[in-house]
Chain A
């Protein structure tokens, strides 16, 4: 038996684990005791991370569409056809008719290559990935406020916090190892403030639970800042030395009185005062947040409001302080870092800067497009409108994971050409013209970057099934067929190119990535990596506070649709369930789709635990099993996104945050019926 050390494939925590290999297949997994973040611990998904790898439903051969059927083909046939199709569509309709969705499940090397393929070979900046639907507001807001859109500290830093404000994160379920640090901090005396409409596990354990009405976060966060300013709990020295924009931000926040906040957000004024005291008086306070903050039509503003709070209280750049966005996929941080975004190259270098563009043109020996590309949803709507003709979608299942699924399906169906690559058949691969079988995380070499900016190795433990291949191999081959040079003997050589073009990854090379990896920025080969950002200065000099004003969510409950529908994840499943629903113990925990309903609401409607109910919004309806919860406030529904037989995104609103282009996924007006069966 061999034990191969690698990085977990599920959430952004980036835990280290061993895959146990026997006779060429994975027979188990266990945590790595010496890993600097996970330290010999894993969540249930991590313990079972190797389980889906050898599943018989894995895609094993390239498939080509022939009418309604998919027929087996060779790699050569599939890639020749792909190159020919992409070329002819580009010739006829121009490069703007092409789009690429990369994968937050793929490696850095693969994201970089796909980004390069889009820009250098297809000549379009239409490249994006699922971050658009999770932390695009973080990248936008923290990028502009702090100069870097990533977690400012490390998980281990939370051990030294005196107060932790957790907003819109069900941490014990979605990022269990992050929760481990929070629970330990609490056991050592740190005060916890949890803001979440649902009474989550952390809310139960918290010193203070705030339950805002969904979508009203700007109101209560501004009011909290207002109280903190009024009570002079701000850090004047930090504000003067290291920030701009405090006065106008504080002025704008003054309009948000605790009384008003109570009226709009439902958080009682005394609770807000207590929060101000706990957070403002703490020497070292940290803010942890996730999708409950970002997946709103005002997502960027809410992140900015949190940044304002951290900056006004001087909670930045020291142990125990900072802002901790928890990223959902194990490499969504890396996919962003690699420039799988329509406006930046790797390392967030802007495509609109002529100097940057010249650098990449020079390195890649190809002219590059100037015009910013479309974001993920914009690509799909362009497909629906007929202006985008072809897409490459790798390791992503927009038919289930993107909002307003009926419309997404229609958009995907209207494509002239869809090249999909995945490890299992999905709702999206069912629409592909060419379907390529991918190697999963246990079958290839590469790196993932965790939510704490830790670049870590992924190692090959077993061979991919059938003819499946690592994406970097076929992406290189497709680039060559599109007439672009791409001679990479290994992922290590791709990382060498990444390091040469990406200042924050400048010192990262495979030979330096031992068990603990390296945290970027790591600009040179003798640099030890960076645990805490912004200790002395911000990348742009001073951090920027910016006033934010509340906008009501675009769709509020009314007489026809009286419930607020919230969406999210379960501890036991991941994303669209392609991996976890094929992991027997996880599937046994949550085998069927469910919707959480407040117990009192359910009682009034005559709904019992386990009854089938129909949830409807203006966009669609689904059936699921009722779960009665006291932890959910009245008038709210919560629906997990994992289930293709009850696709939550058939229901979600399509309103878009103008700044980050994320969709409103947390507030949809809905109604509920008991299904008579």
Chain B
């Protein structure tokens, strides 16, 4: 099902949706764009927020259950999961979600992940304004959505072409039916034209194979010396999904699942104290190895969607796709 939404009807459209479900959207703030609950705040649909929307499926920290002790017996309580609609996520992040679905869906499937995943509707905004560091087209992740979502929208100038892909997507459109107009053939043509422009402007030198070659060539000792060990590349990567589990509180408390990063040495340290990835360079190499060697073998997809966030968030002068220490003209 296709429809056209004029730009000045976007806010009423979101208002209609947010009366039914919590809408998460990219909000404009004084400190940059963030995905957050929309309650009428200004939107930022031009930039892809630095912190990816995958946190709504795999939170930085989530309570798996609470444990309560009473007369020596424990009872366990799970919090309910709020239904949510992720609005205007980018195709790269959608591709990451497709990958997370495969990772967490392999048997035994991860219940905590799928409880949130099932409660979440996905509305993807195709990319008509790419960021400076983006290279999704090199990895088959964009600029047009390549993976299943509920509703796909594209900015075609005066409005958005909306395409429902699932029954949930149809319901989303039906909920705001009076705000929509029928889609025309020109809308499709304009969409194709705009996405082609973005794709043509995309760098071509960061393909899966090129990055794999860079991994082989890279001077990991030199890169490790620059790496500040912040873990930021893991924390902004929409594909990164490793976690740690801990119990907090005695006798009552909660079992927490928290995001983790293989950039940290404690992640790979063995019980006896030895560490197979002792140096920062080895850990950084492993981070790439997992995305470009191991995950492709296991899931059939590269573990990178070309969003460029790891480059933006890295405090070190490291080019995160050439895998070189940056030189004079580099970013600051």
Contact = CB atoms under 8 A, between A and B. Distances in A.
Interface string A134-168: 00000000000000000000000001000000000
Contact of B225 (A29, A177, A204): A204
Contacts of B328: 187-189
A514 interface: yes
Contacts of B27: 3
A602 to B, nearest CB: 16
Interface in B45-68: 49-51, 55-56, 59-62
Interface residues of B, number: 56
A136 B317 CA distance: 33
B262 to A, nearest CB: 12
Given A180-B228, A187-B325, A585-B244, A32 B330 contact: no
A20 B228 contact: no
Interface string A1-12: 111010000000
B32 A33 contact: yes
A610 B269 CA distance: 14
Interface string B224-264: 01101111100110000000101011000100001111001
Contacts of A20: 55, 60
A589 interface: yes
B315 A51 contact: no
A31 B232 contact: yes
A1 B330 CA distance: 36
A176 B315 contact: yes
A183 B317 contact: yes
A191 to B, nearest CB: 14
Nearest to B33: A33
B326 to A, nearest CB: 5
A585 B258 contact: yes
Interface residues of A, number: 54
A275 B245 CA distance: 50
A177 B313 CA distance: 11
B32 A40 contact: yes
B315 A43 contact: yes
A184 B226 CA distance: 10
A89 interface: no
B316 A47 contact: no
B156 interface: no
Contact of B51 (A5, A30, A514): A30
B61 A34 contact: no
A584 interface: yes
B29 A3 contact: yes
B34 A3 contact: yes
B50 A42 contact: no
Contacts of B49: 33
B59 A34 contact: no
Contacts of B79: 23
Interface in A32-55: 32-35, 40-44, 46-47, 51, 55
A41 B258 contact: no
Interface in B202-224: none
Nearest to B27: A3
B271 interface: no
A42 B93 CA distance: 22
Interface of B: 24, 27, 29-37, 49-51, 55-56, 59-62, 79, 225-226, 228-232, 235-236, 244, 246, 248-249, 253, 258-261, 264-266, 273, 312-317, 325-328, 330-332
Given A16-B31, A42-B315, A183-B226, 12 more contacts: A1-B56, A3-B34, A32-B32, A33-B32, A34-B30, A42-B230, A180-B315, A180-B316, A184-B332, A187-B327, A189-B328, A515-B31
20 contacts: A1-B36, A1-B56, A30-B34, A31-B313, A33-B312, A40-B50, A40-B313, A44-B229, A159-B332, A176-B315, A177-B315, A180-B315, A183-B317, A187-B317, A187-B328, A188-B328, A189-B328, A205-B225, A588-B264, A589-B266
**Among all A-B residue pairs, the 9 with the closest Cβ atoms:** A28-B60, A33-B32, A32-B31, A30-B51, A180-B315, A187-B317, A588-B266, A515-B31, A34-B32
